[in-house]
Amino acid sequence: MRWDADGLVPVIAQERDSGDVMMFAWMNREALALTAEKGEAVYWSRSRRKLWHKGEESGHTQTVHELRLDCDNDVVLMKITQHGHTPGIACHTGRHSCFFQKLEGGVWTAIEPVLKDPESIYK
């Protein structure tokens, strides 16, 4: 596996059943090892400079079914099931996916609804 200069690798979380790309994040070696061991997503938070077990505050955890590595050995794809709400919420904005904006006519437009008010998710 090829790690960047900070010892991180980019990770894409894709919902196993729908194929939706839920989010993009980073892992260090410890986060990857814990994810493989626990079967739940653990990331490295670059802003907080610490390990981050997805859902530790929101309850919106991710069960990891598969870990895949791309052809250049520098991007991880995780096939996951998103938990905590129906449909699952992966985004801190309360949406299903972090990729909820679409470029339409030169303007970025939110095309997915907020499923749960973020104020009620994070206390």
- Residue-level pLDDT, tens digit, the chain, 123 residues: 999 999 999 999 999 999 999 999 999 999 999 999 999 999 999 999 999 999 998 989 999 999 999 999 999 999 999 998 888 899 999 999 999 999 999 999 999 999 999 888 876
Residue 1 lies in a domain: no
Residues contacting residue 108 through CB under 8 Å, at least 6 positions apart: 101, 102
Bridge partners for 35 per DSSP: none
Residue 4 lies in a domain: no
Instruction: Tell me the CA distances in angstroms from 44 to 11, 23, 101, one per residue in order.
Output: 10, 14, 24
Domain count, the chain: 1
Residue 21 lies in a domain: yes
Residue 45 lies in a domain: yes
Q: Residue 114: which CATH number?
A: 3.10.20.810
Residue 89 lies in a domain: yes
Distance, in Å, from the CA atom of 105 to the CA atom of 45, rounded to the nearest integer, reads 34
Residue 2 lies in a domain: no
pTM of the shown model: 0.90
Distance, in Å, from the CA atom of 76 to the CA atom of 2, rounded to the nearest integer, reads 10
Q: Domain containing 53: what range?
A: 9-121
Residue 43 lies in a domain: yes
Distance, in Å, from the CA atom of 95 to the CA atom of 89, rounded to the nearest integer, reads 6
